[in-house]
Each structure stands twice: as structure tokens, then as C-alpha cells.
Amino acid sequence: MNTPIKQPTEIQQTDMQQNDMQQKNKQRTLRQAQSSPENPSRREIMRLASALSLAFATGILKPSEVFAASEWGIDWNGAVYSAKSLEAFVIAMSGDTTTPNSSRTVTELGSAPGLSRATDSEITMDAPELAENGTNVPVTISSKLPGTDFIALIADHNPNPVCVGFNVLPDNDPAYTVRIKVAETSTLIAAVRAQGRWYFVSRDITVMIGGCLG
């Protein structure tokens, strides 16, 4: 007796189509990251940054899937991907992967070796004080610190606080606009590396509906 073959329901077919589309978007974004030229133009950088930030925000890609596969990710390691605080991020970026990683590695915000709070004139971060929906929060970061070569954005109450990081290539302005998910009322932190030292500014954001619930 032959067992009848069950046909997928309409909901199952929709889920399958969505998963297939996500996989295609994931592969396309990965190809863009891995095929970027050694000295891309600012337009190419912004195009790629927009694609990556959208992929991270929607959950299609994880930072480790991109940065580990790209020459731009030579500063990134497993401890950086999983850093639970600004301090843990800076320590991991220095190459120390042995320090315990917790949501607050030290008692006071910013108390890590080689890390200092910057002035608002040195690092500018524009972000809303109130976000009705945390799934799509616009943030602009720019640095006037001489020798800026890396910029990162951290949302300290997110399940994965390190939202995105940018290697600032020579002759390119250290300024980026991204859209991120913010899980709950939190502190946004812009971390900048300049001339071998780290600097940061922070902004509190109140989130009405969290962006990392699904």
C-alpha cells in the first residue's frame, strides 16, 4: 500500500519561499563583501556598508560570516564577534582573547586599557533619543580624531552588542550612517580607534518596542 505524499501547506510554501530568498540575499551580500577591490572608492564603500548593515539588522548575516571571510576583517576574531561590552570589545580588538567576557567587564564604562572617553567635537553620534520601534534605528557616526582607522557601533543591551564595524581606508572620510536593531532601552556606544588608541562616546536611547524579539 503506497503512502500518499503530503503536499506542503500554503504557510509552509510561503516559509520555504522566504527562506530561499534569505539564502539568495545572504549569498549575494557575501559575494559583494568578498569581491570588493583592494582600494574601493567611497561610493563602493558606502554601497557595501549599506548592504551589510541591512543584512545584519535583518538577521540575514552575522558579522562573523562577513568579516572572517574578508581582508577587511583582519582585526576581527571570535572574541570580538561575541564581545558583550565596550570593554570586552576593545580588549579583544587588542588581540587579548583570554580576558573573561561579560556584559560589563569592568565596573565603570570605558575603564579598559587604551580606552578614553572622547568629546562630542571629536566623535559625533546622531541617534534618536526615543525609538518607537527598535527594528530600524538610524545612527550616524563621524570622527575628527587624526588617524582614525576603525569605527564600531555597540548597543550594550542587545543579545549581540557589537552591531557593525568599519575599517576606515586611507583618503576616506571616517563617517558612516547605518540602521540597526536595538533590543531594548539601552546605551549606544560609538567606538573609534585612532593612532593605536580607542575613544568612545555614548548616547542613551529609549526603545518602545524592541528590535531583537524575533
* Domains of the chain in sequence order: 11-209 (2.60.40.2470)
Cell numbers representing residue 23 in the block = 539564502
pLDDT at 84: 87
Q: How far apart are CA 125 and CA 54, in angstroms?
A: 19
**What's the mean pLDDT in 174-180?**
93
Q: Which residue has the higher pLDDT, 22 or 79?
A: 79
**Alpha-carbon span 163 to 180, nearest angstrom:** 7
Which of residues 82 and 120 earns the better pLDDT score? 120
- Residue with cell string 528590535: 211
Q: What are phi and psi of 140, to 5 degrees?
A: -120, 130
- Count the Cβ atoms, other than its own, within 10 Å of residue 185: 15
* Sheet containing 123-126, strands listed edge to edge, beginning at the edge strand earlier in sequence: 123-126, 137-143, 175-180
Which pLDDT does position 124 carry in this prediction?
96
The rounded distance, in Å, linking the Cα atoms of 131 and 51 is 22
- Ranges 99-103, 115-119, 183-187: which has the least confidence: 99-103
Using alpha carbons, select from 189, 191, 214, 213 the residue that is nearest to residue 203.
189
Report the distance separating Cα 57 and Cα 49, nearest Å.
12
b (16+ CB within 10 A) / e for 100-115:
ebeeebeeebbebeeb
- Cβ atoms 32, 72 nearer than 8 A: no
- More confident of the two residues 132 and 126: 126
3-state helix, strand, coil in the chain (%, to 5): 30, 30, 45
- Structure pTM? 0.64
